[in-house]
């Protein structure tokens, strides 16, 4: 790619109203806080309450991102939502968000790439900006994982939470914006991680051991590839935001990279695994600390199996 285009000018997040600590699983799943923290790093997560769903969370995060950017909804040209847990097969979450935030009439579409969804969608949003098809894109990652997780399955129930993150991307010709993207998928590995539609009897299944080994390989590969082909050194990277799947995965991947651990953004202790939302949910914690000229790498991986990463120049 030539130059930088998609600059982040606003960020926001929304979380399910119900806060569920590890103690909430103790009786139902015959587990305790120490067991969950040791194996996952998660201390609490948010679940949707009555009246909340993927679209309402996405709209809430979007309104916060617009407010942060100092923009009204009519300034947006396209809404793009990464999600695998839309409350209905149709309409799309993005379409519902457009109505909820007062932006009906502009283009809106969903993108399904599971936990890699945000990184996939960021590539699409950047392409739309580069082509001139849009000046500003509202980019959302949102998932209500409680709609596809079996709350009686200890191996998965403790991992996931519900949330949404949103960013406003603006087309420009300055020094800040997305620089490069990596996209990958392998449907032959689908049996390792899959789920039915929200509300169906086919709940999420994960072969934790195999997914762990694969994720620990793919994260460093993506990071190293982005750095090498864009002539960026590890010292120039301010943050790496990996998909927040499991602390053990993140720690094992970091050990394979020439990146100090303090540059790795981790928040799954508070939010759990929120799938496509986990990367954009991270931005409100770090946006105010961005150092111009440095880089942020976002790396997603999940069901499909899918993987994607983005290089962003601050």
46, 53, 243, 246: the active-site residue = 243
- List, as one string, the DSSP characters of 45-63: EEE--TT--HHHHHHHHHH
115, 181, 246, 310: the active-site residue = 115
* Contact (CB, 8 A) for 294 and 236: yes
Which residues are CB-neighbours of 169 under 8 A, at least 6 positions away? 6, 7, 8, 9, 125, 126, 129, 136, 137, 138, 139, 178
Report d(CA 125, CA 128) in Å as an integer. Answer: 5
* Contact (CB, 8 A) for 240 and 263: yes
22, 53, 63, 273: the active-site residue = 273
Is residue 2 part of the annotated active site? The answer reads no
Beta partners for 164? 14, 142
Report d(CA 183, CA 234) in Å as an integer. Answer: 21
Within 136-282, where are the H helices? 154-157, 208-229, 247-254, 268-271
CA separation (Å) from 282 to 48, 193, 214, 270, 277? 19, 24, 23, 11, 9
101 DSSP assignment: T
Is residue 243 part of the annotated active site? The answer reads yes
CA separation (Å) from 249 to 42, 181, 186? 13, 22, 20
User: With left for phi above 0 and alpha for psi between -120 and 50, is residue 301 left, alpha or beta?
Assistant: beta
What is the DSSP pairing of strand 237-242 with strand 295-302?
Answer: parallel
- Indicate if the alpha-carbon torsion angle 291, 288, 125, 165 is positive or negative: positive
Is residue 289 part of the annotated active site? The answer reads no
∠ at Cα 125 (285, 84), nearest 5°? 75
Active site residues: 115, 243, 273
């Amino acid at each position: 790619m030539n130059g930088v285009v998609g600059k982040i000018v606003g960020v926001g997040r929304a979380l399910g109203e119900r806060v569920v600590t590890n103690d909430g699983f103790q009786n139902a799943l015959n587990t305790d806080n120490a067991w969950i923290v040791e194996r996952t790093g998660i201390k609490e997560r948010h679940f949707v309450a009555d009246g909340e769903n993927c679209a309402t969370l996405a709209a809430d995060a979007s309104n916060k991102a617009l407010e942060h950017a100092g923009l009204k909804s009519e300034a947006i040209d396209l809404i793009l939502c990464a999600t695998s847990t839309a409350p209905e097969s149709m309409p799309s979450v993005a379409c519902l968000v457009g109505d909820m935030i007062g932006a009906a009439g502009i283009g809106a579409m969903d993108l399904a790439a599971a936990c890699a969804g945000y990184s996939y969608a960021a590539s699409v949003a950047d392409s739309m900006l580069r082509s001139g098809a849009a000046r500003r894109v509202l980019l959302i990652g949102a998932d209500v994982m409680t709609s596809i997780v079996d709350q009686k399955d200890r191996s998965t129930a403790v991992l996931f939470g519900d949330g949404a993150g949103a960013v406003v991307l603006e087309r420009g010709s300055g020094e800040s914006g997305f620089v490069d993207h990596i996209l990958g998928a392998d449907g032959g590995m689908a049996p390792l991680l899959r789920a039915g539609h929200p509300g169906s009897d086919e709940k999420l299944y994960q072969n934790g051991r195999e997914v762990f080994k694969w994720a620990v390989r793919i994260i460093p590969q993506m990071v190293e590839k982005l750095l090498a082909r864009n002539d960026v050194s590890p010292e120039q990277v301010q943050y790496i935001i990996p998909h927040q799947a499991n602390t053990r995965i993140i720690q094992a991947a970091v050990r394979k990279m020439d990146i100090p651990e303090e540059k790795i953004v981790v928040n799954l202790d508070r939010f759990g695994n929120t799938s496509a939302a986990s990367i954009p949910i991270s931005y409100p914690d770090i946006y105010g600390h961005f150092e111009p000229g440095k880089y942020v790498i976002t790396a997603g991986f999940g069901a499909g199996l899918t993987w994607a990463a983005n290089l962003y120049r601050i």
